[in-house]
Amino acid sequence: MGYLCRALAVAALLQVLALPALAEEGVPTEREIMESEGEPPVIPHRVADTDTARECLKCHETGKKGAPVTPHPERKACTQCHVRGEVKAKPGKQKR
Amino acid sequence: MEWTRRAFLKASAATAAFAAAGAGNLRRLEPEGAEAAVGGITWGKAPCRFCGTGCGVLVGVKDGRIVATKGDPAAPVNKGLNCVKGYFLSKVLYGKDRLTKPLIRKGDKFVEASWEEAMTLIAAKFKESIDTHGPDSVAIYGSGQWTVFEGYAAAKLLKAGIGTNNIEPNARLCMASAVAGFMSTFGSDEPMGCYDDLDLGDTFFLWGANMAEAHPVLYSRLLDNKLKNPKVKIIDLGTRYTRTSQMADMFVSFKPQTDLALLNAIAHVIVREKLYDEEFISKHVVFKKGKERIGYGLEDKYKFDDEPTGITFEEYREFLKPYTPEHVSGLSGVPVKTIVEMAHMYADRKRKVNSLWTMGFNHHSRGTWANNLVYNVHLLTGKIGRPGENPLSLTGQPSACGTAREVGTFGHRLPADMVVMNPEHREKAAKIWGVPASKIPAKPGPHAVEMFRALDRGEIKVMWIQVTNPFVSLPNLNRYRKAARKEGRFIVVSDIYPTRSTELADVILPSASWVEKEGVFGNTERRTQQWFKLVDPPGEARNDLWQTIELARRLGHGDLFPYKNVEKEMWEEYRQFSTGTGKDLAPYETYFKVRGLRWPVVDGTETPWRYVEGYDPYVKKGEGLKFYKNKKDEGKAVIWARPYEPPAESPDREYPFWLSTGRVLEHWHTGTMTGRVPELKRAYPAAVVEIHPDDAKKLGIRNRDRVRVSSRRGTIVLPAELNGRGKPIKGNVFVAFFDETKLINELCIDAYDPISKEPEFKKCAVKVEKA
């Protein structure tokens, strides 16, 4: 699933680079809707207030221990979109 | 007034279709196709409902309900990104307790009523009060979340119809000092720069702005820039270590209120070491000073008018003399070396420097001064106007700029920077409004705090509150909550959910929100964004615009609103105020086709940078840069000699801590919308008091212990949080204000900046004890 997301994101990025913006009419185009992202998954494990992208990406960049792979490792403010949810999973051991 | 969905929702989300067609075969869906799209979701666009950033959002609608919201990739503000609040916008309107019927108070209970009954009662109360006590006995208190139309209708009804200037927005509690700063330094409200500066600059000073939580998408733009450009430095100045500080290159903590001294110390170093841009100063700057020891507005009916006098650069140099880095270091706690280093960074010709700020400066009993002082540094170094280097005042509500400031829904203002005290301005407004100039009163209405004091004293008897929650958000809340229920007062509250304000009302009106109506918002960077109605409001809920016009009609002022196609005609009327002033807005239809345009819009072209040749059509060829709106100073900006003065209340033996209040990422304002989204509520369920671990240790307080926080005005019990998301510096505590069960503003002092009349939410003295 993670890889699929990533592949889609890459495809979307290529589209952005390849095509001029199609926003003249001010309503979303099909392409824009396809490229846009919706509700970000909440974090189902414990996360420290001090954690940054460095900690998150330890697992979510590569899919270590079955963690979902982020389609956007370049974004560094993870908690701007992903907020704490119900704790269902254990995070990988976090070494600082 | 209503556009059909079919006409404006065109495209569809069709994941399957996308996969089948392949990336190369994408085509725009025709309107008819949209309705039949896979999944049956039709899509429209709108600016986000929450903060002043103005992110573009795609709104997916199915069976008359919003089922999804996504970041709009075509929106230049956010380029497809939203913050968590924006992503969960689809759930904001669908809380279980949504108001769907008008409610009238009968004793301690609210009883469902028809619109006819509710509006008849409201109109009768307005009429009775106006007839018996005069037009100044009624008031409308609105907000920076009003659409342009809603704010414009309320202002026109009061100023041109009823004949009172008793209108204020909650933006007085939020942006008034930014406005006063812009007006006194540049002669015109709102910034010269724009968000492009976040991508183009390389040095960013954040003054009292927790952007990572309060303006997350803009902070991400900064971080993106930093990722691409190793030269980028983010310097976060504040009294609390936040997520913003965590991702910044430098965190500079200072003692509350000493930002005034720090800015003067930075200017001191720049002037002492002759790091200023002499040519820029001689061409574009004049120097002034105003009154000092100006008070705090704690007394009812406090009056203040500044008296600006021109001074020379030499006199300004003299004024700066005491603000040596050594002296200011003692005052602020910032090391001498850091002050000098910051001055050098500001002045470094190889650095493109930006300053960004929000409520740290504005929620300040010297807020106008703080705004003036940061402009001073930019004007001294000439780092203003050019792409990539500008000061930028960030706003907190979706239309604090578009409605409160541009429409001028304040007691003293008229649209497009005009004021009621000026006879020519009244003349112009009256002409556009089609009323005699004598109709608009010259006497400004009371500012927000004074308006609620007048309610308490009994001078204002009837108040209609729209799109805001003042009985949570005012300072010194106990006084004003009691005022609302005093004998002889009549309070109407329009909202979408029951709130701590509706509980004090006599009539509650159920409103339509966001894409349940057509609207226009204006964001921080002067971007005007329009949207269409995409869904019907639930039950009998109705647009606030309809509500106001309905009152007008019943008071005999219906002729002020003769529109058939309401929004279109109202916009074209409103637009006349701005045309030719440098704040020009485009014809209504222009906004259908774009993701907003930054004014002035002349001949269909927007203006990313104001006052700059080549960008701003009002700057003539060869002028380069001109602050043309400041006519009284011949198109020059003002460097102000503004001293450091202490706040209204500082910690003492009895109340030894500073209390600051603010936002968290997950919630917006008083939490009435975000508190109803399960994901957001779960992520940040309740307010805590953040305290420095060393302070906690001294008091025997451990993490999550219940503690009592008290000021001279109120007391509250909260769990303590140590080493949490935010960490105040020693001697400070912080409480967010979103939690309606913990009214922290009961503790806040209702002191205000005498120039802007904006209250001081960021500083008062409290004690902290184990509960």
* Cβ neighbours of B28 in A, within 8 Å: 22, 29-30
- Percentage of chain B exceeding pLDDT 70: 95
pLDDT (0 to 100) of residue B457: 98
Model confidence at A13: pLDDT above 60: no
Tens digit of each residue's pLDDT (9 = 90 or more) over B623-634: 999 999 999 999
Chain B positions touching A17 (Cβ under 8 A) are none
Q: Is B4 on the interface with A (CB under 8 A)?
A: no
Q: What is the pLDDT of residues B319-378, one digit of tens each?
A: 999 999 999 999 999 999 999 999 999 999 999 999 999 999 999 999 999 999 999 999
SS3 assignment for B319-350:
HHCCCCHHHHHHHHCCCHHHHHHHHHHHHCCC
Residue A25: its pLDDT value, please? 52
Q: Which helix (H) or strand (E) holds B57?
A: strand B56-62
Q: What percent of chain A has pLDDT over 90?
A: 41
Residue B394 has pLDDT above 70, yes or no: yes
pLDDT at site B24? 28
Residues of B in contact with A50 (CB under 8 A): 246, 723
N-terminal to C-terminal alpha carbon distance within chain A? 29
Q: Which residues of A touch B591 (CB under 8 A)?
A: 26
Q: Is some CB atom of chain A closer than 8 A to the CB atom of B13?
A: yes
pLDDT value, residue B180: 98
Closest chain A CA to residue B530: A26
pLDDT at position B140 over 60: yes
> Chain B partners of A83 at a C-beta cutoff of 8 Å?
84, 665-666, 679-680, 683-684
> Under an 8 A CB cutoff, do A80 and B84 touch?
yes
Closest CA to B403 of B150, B206, B222: B150
CA distance A84 to chain B (A): 5
Q: What is the pLDDT of residues A57-84, one digit of tens each?
A: 999 999 998 999 999 999 999 999 999 9
Is B72's CB within 8 Å of A36's CB?
yes
Question: Residue B214 pLDDT more than 70?
Answer: yes
Region of poorest pLDDT, from B19-33, B235-249, B663-677: B19-33
Beta-sheet pairing, B418-419 with B462-466:
unpaired
The CA distance from B723 to the nearest CA of chain A, in Å, is: 8
Q: With cut-offs at 50, 70 and 90, classify the pLDDT of residue A29.
A: confident
Instruction: Give the nearest partner residue to A77 out of B45, B58, B220, using CB atoms.
Output: B220
Which residues have CB under 8 Å from B12's CB, separation 6+? Answer: A30, A33, B29, B33, B34, B37, B38, B39, B41, B42, B43
pLDDT digits (tens, 9 = 90+) for B184-194: 999 999 999 99
Contact B74 A32 (CB under 8 A): yes
Angle (CA) B361 B412 B510, round 5°: 85
Q: Name the pLDDT band for B17 (thresholds 50, 70, 90).
A: very low
Cβ contact A29–B682 (<8 Å): no
Contact A80 B217 (CB under 8 A): yes
The more confident residue out of A10 and B439 is B439
The interface predicted TM-score (ipTM) is 0.88
Task: Tell me: pLDDT of B26 over 60.
Answer: no
**Within an 8 Å CB–CB cutoff, is residue B735 touching chain A?**
no
With 90 as the cut, is the pLDDT of residue A17 above it? no
Chain A contact set for B594 (CB, 8 A)? 23, 26
- Give residue A96's pLDDT: 38
Task: Calculate how close chain A gets to B235, using CA atoms only, in Å.
Answer: 17
Position B21 pLDDT exceeds 50: no
User: Among residues of chain A, what percentage have pLDDT more than 70?
Assistant: 66
The tens digit of pLDDT for each residue in B584-635 reads 999 999 999 899 999 999 999 999 999 999 999 999 999 999 999 999 999 9
Q: Do B665 and A27 touch (CB under 8 A)?
A: no
Number of neighbours of residue B681 by Cβ within 10 angstroms: 15
- Gap between the Cα atoms of B280 and B381, Å rounded: 8
* Residue A26 scores a pLDDT above 70: no
Joined together, the tokens standing for residue B514 give 């966001």
pLDDT at residue A2, rounded to an integer: 52
Residue B691 pLDDT exceeds 50:
yes
Task: Give the residue-averaged pLDDT of B443-453.
Answer: 98
pLDDT in tens, B251-298: 999 999 999 999 999 999 999 999 999 999 999 999 999 999 999 999
- Mean pLDDT across the stretch B528-539? 97
Contact of A61 with chain B, judged by CB distance below 8 Å, is answered with: no
Residues of B annotated as catalytic are: 85, 174-175, 359, 396-397
Predicted confidence band of residue A9 (pLDDT cuts 50, 70, 90):
low
| pLDDT confidence bin for B35, thresholds 50/70/90 | very low
> pLDDT tens digits, residue range B458-494?
999 999 999 999 999 999 999 999 999 999 999 999 9
Q: Are B400 and B174 in contact (CB under 8 A)?
A: yes
Kind of pairing, strands B597-598 and B527-531? antiparallel
Q: Which residues pair with B494 in a beta bridge?
A: B466, B509
Question: Contact, B582 vs B628, CB < 8 A?
Answer: yes
Provide, as residue numbers in chain A, all residues whose Cβ is less than 8 Å from the Cβ of B680. 83
Q: Find, in chain A, the residue whose alpha carbon is nearest to that of B80.
A: A36
**Euclidean distance between CA atoms B360 and B370, whole angstroms:** 9
- CB nearest A21 (choices: B17, B68, B74): B74
Res. B308: pLDDT tops 60: yes
Identify which of B60, B83, B224 has the shortest CB distance to residue A80: B83
B537 to chain A, closest Cα gap in Å: 22
Q: What is the CB neighbour count within 10 angstroms for residue B766?
A: 27
Q: What is the model's pLDDT at position B596?
A: 97
Omega of the bond leading into B600 within 30 degrees of 0 (cis): yes
Q: Does B724 touch chain A (CB under 8 A)?
A: yes
Q: Does A39 touch chain B (CB under 8 A)?
A: yes
- pLDDT for residue A89: 73
Gap from A31 CA to chain B (nearest CA, Å)? 6
Q: What is the mean pLDDT of chain B?
A: 94
